[in-house]
Structure 1
Amino acid sequence: MSAISGNTGAGTDESISGSGNESLFVSPEHEREYRAFIKEHPDIEAVEFLIVDPNGVMRGKWAPGDALKKAFQEGVNFPMSLHGLDVWGREVEATGLHIETGDKDGYCRATRGTLAIVPWAKRKTAQVLLQTFTPEGEPYMADSRQVLKHKVAEANAKGFFPVVAFELEFYLLDPETDWDDGMPAPVGASAGPDRLRMYGLDDLAEHAELFDMIRDAADAMNLPIDTIIKEAAPGQFEVNLKHRADPLKAADDVILLRRIVMGCARAHGLTATFMAKPFLEYAGNGMHVHTSMLNSDGVNIFGHAEGRPVLESAVAGLLKTMPESLLLFINTWNGFRRITPGSYAPTRAVWAENNRSVALRIPVSNEHNRRIEHRIAGADANPYLVMAAIMQGMIEGITSKAVPPPPIEGSAYEDEGLFLPDDMDDALQLMEKSRFIDRALGPLLAKVYKDLKRAEIMAFWSEITPLERTTYL
């Protein structure tokens, strides 16, 4: 993939100001988008309102079609406590967002550019991604999308314009076939555990109708899908998105792509999962992030000979902040099972040129599209928070002219670089001591996120596993 230049900044995102007349629409751009959509689709029967919580889980509600207009005007009412739910969707009182506040509603407004038809719905249904504002109309800073929007504006004001592309791995599962303890089997697993068929074209052809539906849905939602690849396990695939000169829209792409893949798989009688480590014997699902950085003239500041020290300073900033940020990149208990030696999932905070065993890889590229590939995140992580931490780490490294350790040679699993935490509780303890997380997420979401992770850890600690019972009874 190549980085793009020229169009800088996050100008595709919506304004929250009024249009200067008596219109109830949030902005003239909102009004134009809504009216153009209704003109093309006057027979909308239903709408699905979508909101992303701190775990990156899609939440929301279904409404009749005539409710769509409200999302483009003052907004749809949702409790702001939605952003204080754990991964199971349960209220975590420690966040302070729930009944102790009166469980107040906020206004959730349409995100421009995300209004689209749901291709797998039986009725004519629209969907739109929302973001949360307070009752007073201010961005609600426990909403991860609002946090990243603030970080992008902050970066742009300093003269930094990131260009971003995400890669997502997932499994296709056959819900009619049991693999282990109720877990559906990955498609193709019946051919034998050694039949991994990496980069297999036959596997793509076997599911051609599904992947055609995914591409068509992505086109309808203006998601820039690039390549689709058969990955390193039965039923495992990867979808790569093209670079965007707008980190906010790139993160939106991830949220909507996960929904597309799961919806299209369901329409074909399959289940798709982005779970970080669904099978111990097979590779986990990662979310790799390619990032370059433009200046205000649209020039990649990592390019050419003079850009090399800048790139290395960005690498240094990412390495320094990686251990304390790890719980943003690996946000689930299960995700830490993915971080194992020899698995192409990094275990150490190290970097290298053209080396897939490291946390930060500098891919083969020309001077124009030189970039950093961040290889830590699980495919189920919240892309807004992943991107906020990556941007903050890069910019702090660049502005301080930080110097990284030398790049490694060979396997990172045999290197002596800094080990990353391999346990969710250890990662949380590093995060709780971190001032960087407050700078990356803002004080409200930083507190909420740590409260959620502590509650989730306690939930896992309160379970006695079947293995323990069979061992000690």
Structure 2
Amino acid sequence: MPVSERGRTVEDMDETSQIDEAAAYAKAFGIPDIVEVLLPDTCGILRGKWIPGHSMSKIWKSGVPIPLSIFGLDVWGCEVEATGIHIETGDKDGLCWPIPGTLKPVPWSPRPAAQVLMTMHLPDGAPWLLDPRQQLARIVDRLAARGLTACAAFELEFYLLKPGAEGAPPQPVFSTEGQPRQNMYSMTDLDAFAPLLHDMRTAAASQGLPADTVISEAAPGQFEVNLFHRDDALAAADDAILLRRLIDGVARRHGLRATFMAKPLLDFAGNGMHVHVSMKDRSGANIFGQEGGEGERLLRHAAGGLLATMADSLLMFVPSFNGYRRLVPGSYAPTGITWGYDNRSVAVRVPNGPAEAMRLEHRIAGAEAHPHLVLAAILAGMLEGIEAGIEPPPPLSGNAYDHDAPRLSPVMAEAISRFAASPFIERTFGAEYRRVYAVMKQEELAAFSRAILPLEYDTYL
């Protein structure tokens, strides 16, 4: 039996108390070759380390040191010096600790492997508030102080692509030439990739991810996987992070790529991240389903808060330069600050259902957004509306694109400016988080502004 660095086997760890996760995993699956330590950065990109399986107990005993500055990396993994959290601070380590229940096998790995999701703390044990998961935890605590628990679920859209050269235009698994091909909700498209999609479902089951419906979406090679609701907002966002990794990993094992890019094909639907949220009181009852008009009032106020804070939070919902290409009329991606009942053209939809299932569906975020930041901004907006009693405008019916409603900015620069000056963002996430996130996105925008597009060569060369 391999021996840990502290001189004990994985099997006899923590014998005087309950068996820890590492020991339970080893008993169920054997000791893996490696444990993939996963830490989502500010962009939602997974960073981390491989740790030998025979040493995995130290993850729970000692934590895993990773530089605090990992939350100052841009979407290309480069240090954003303007954040002021890199070498000028000595580039100190934080201490990452495992999130309970996330040590799982990696079925798509070519060798026996496990993975565990981590969150960042300072060496003294205080949460590192540049970690988006810690920001969501603060919002969850605010809800708890009011006797509320968020119940949330994510829906993730993605394209399957043929392998291609890095930076080359995407090649969907179905042709995009000729007559436009949506084939929405197609069973034959599901059948065409049944082995891959079944492997995704099997992998989700082995990792305990609550995967629900799989559908063929509104574009060639586009699919959607829905997750079941969780009455634990942190776990719901963790699920979304891990589902993206699973989809990517299984697709690669099948010789394909999966992309969550918000708008990979100009003439077809983008990839969205829709989030369904309800609220439970201390008794476990859905507050939006209360009788006598009280549930309807609270639902309106929650929607009002989302609309009132939507422009300020847009940079978290649409964090990428490409994401603003998705917000176009007629695309099922919202363009206005709108809400309505059973209406997929609005930004905040109230789905049909019984009173106990009343909820809001937030439809703005792109699939590449950070689930923890998206959910934190949603919950904070809903709480703002409930606490302040914000009344929304009348709900829209019919095609929301035809209504004269306030518009979401289609320009990243405007979203950055609004975010950087927002009192709501400062109150919710803190002045330092607002500053760091804004300068990171400003640097990202500047990089795209310095690039010469192929269309420019076609036009002017």
| SS of residue paired to 1:168 | strand
Deviations, residues 29-81 of structure 1 (Å, cap 9, x unaligned): 7x522211121233311111111011111111222212321211220111110
Deviations, residues 279-338 of structure 1 (Å, cap 9, x unaligned): 001100000000011111111111133210110000000000000100000010000000
Deviations, residues 99-118 of structure 1 (Å, cap 9, x unaligned): 00000011111111110111
Out of 299, 302, 308, the position equivalent to 1:311 is 299
Partner of 1:141: 129
Deviations, residues 105-140 of structure 1 (Å, cap 9, x unaligned): 111111111101111111111111111111112111
Instruction: Give the superposition deviation at 1:190.
Output: 6.2
Instruction: Give the superposition deviation at 1:193.
Output: 4.5
1:247 equivalent in alignment to 2:233? yes
* Contact residue 186 and residue 235 of structure 1 kept, 8 A: yes
| SS of residue paired to 1:183 | coil
* Contact residue 389 and residue 441 of structure 1 kept, 8 A: no
Partner of 2:186: 200
For residues 372 and 167 of structure 2, the distance between their equivalents in structure 1, rounded to whole angstroms, comes to: 33
- 1:48-447, aligned counterparts within 5 Å? 48-175=36-163, 182-189=168-175, 192-303=178-289, 304=291, 305-447=293-435
For residues 365 and 375 of structure 2, the distance between their equivalents in structure 1, rounded to whole angstroms, comes to: 10
* Contact residue 147 and residue 442 of structure 1 kept, 8 A: no
Instruction: Give the superposition deviation at 1:444.
Output: 3.1
Q: TM-score, normalised by structure 1?
A: 0.91
Deviations, residues 352-403 of structure 1 (Å, cap 9, x unaligned): 1111000011111111101100000000000100011111110110011111
| SS of residue paired to 1:439 | helix
| SS of residue paired to 1:154 | helix
Paired residue type of 1:284: G
Q: TM-score, normalised by structure 2?
A: 0.94
* Contact residue 13 and residue 20 of structure 2 kept, 8 A: no
* Contact residue 143 and residue 445 of structure 1 kept, 8 A: no
* Contact residue 288 and residue 376 of structure 1 kept, 8 A: yes
* Contact residue 31 and residue 54 of structure 2 kept, 8 A: no
For residues 24 and 156 of structure 1, the distance between their equivalents in structure 2, rounded to whole angstroms, comes to: 34
- CA RMSD between the two structures: 1.8
Paired residue type of 2:222: Q
For residues 347 and 193 of structure 1, the distance between their equivalents in structure 2, rounded to whole angstroms, comes to: 26
Partner of 1:450: 438
Paired residue type of 2:388: S
The one of the two structures with greater contact order (alpha-carbon pairs below 8 A, sep at least 6) is: 1
Paired residue type of 1:242: F
Structure 2 segments unaligned to the other structure (5+ residues): 1-11
The count of residues paired between Structure 1 and Structure 2 equals 447
For residues 167 and 420 of structure 2, the distance between their equivalents in structure 1, rounded to whole angstroms, comes to: 35
| SS of residue paired to 1:189 | coil
Deviations, residues 152-208 of structure 1 (Å, cap 9, x unaligned): 1221111111110110000001116x8x98223111226854232110111111111
For residues 70 and 427 of structure 1, the distance between their equivalents in structure 2, rounded to whole angstroms, comes to: 42
Instruction: Give the superposition deviation at 1:345.
Output: 0.4
Paired residue type of 1:156: A
Q: Using a 3 Å threshold, how does the CA distance of structure 1 residues 42 and 142 change in structure 2: closer, same or farther?
A: same
Paired residue type of 1:454: Q
- Greater CA deviation, 120-129 or 432-441? 432-441
Partner of 1:45: 33
- Greater CA deviation, 387-396 or 67-76? 67-76
For residues 376 and 72 of structure 1, the distance between their equivalents in structure 2, rounded to whole angstroms, comes to: 37
- Identity, in percent, stands at 50
| SS of residue paired to 1:373 | strand
For residues 208 and 300 of structure 2, the distance between their equivalents in structure 1, rounded to whole angstroms, comes to: 34
* Contact residue 323 and residue 366 of structure 2 kept, 8 A: yes
For residues 431 and 114 of structure 1, the distance between their equivalents in structure 2, rounded to whole angstroms, comes to: 32
For residues 433 and 182 of structure 1, the distance between their equivalents in structure 2, rounded to whole angstroms, comes to: 37
* Contact residue 312 and residue 403 of structure 1 kept, 8 A: yes
- Greater CA deviation, 62-71 or 302-311? 62-71
Deviations, residues 237-293 of structure 1 (Å, cap 9, x unaligned): 000000000110000000000000000000011100000000001100000000011
* Contact residue 330 and residue 401 of structure 2 kept, 8 A: yes
Paired residue type of 2:225: V
1:472 equivalent in alignment to 2:456? no
* Contact residue 174 and residue 187 of structure 1 kept, 8 A: yes
Paired residue type of 1:69: S
Structure 1 segments unaligned to the other structure (5+ residues): 1-22
Deviations, residues 389-436 of structure 1 (Å, cap 9, x unaligned): 111110110011111101112111111111111000000011111011
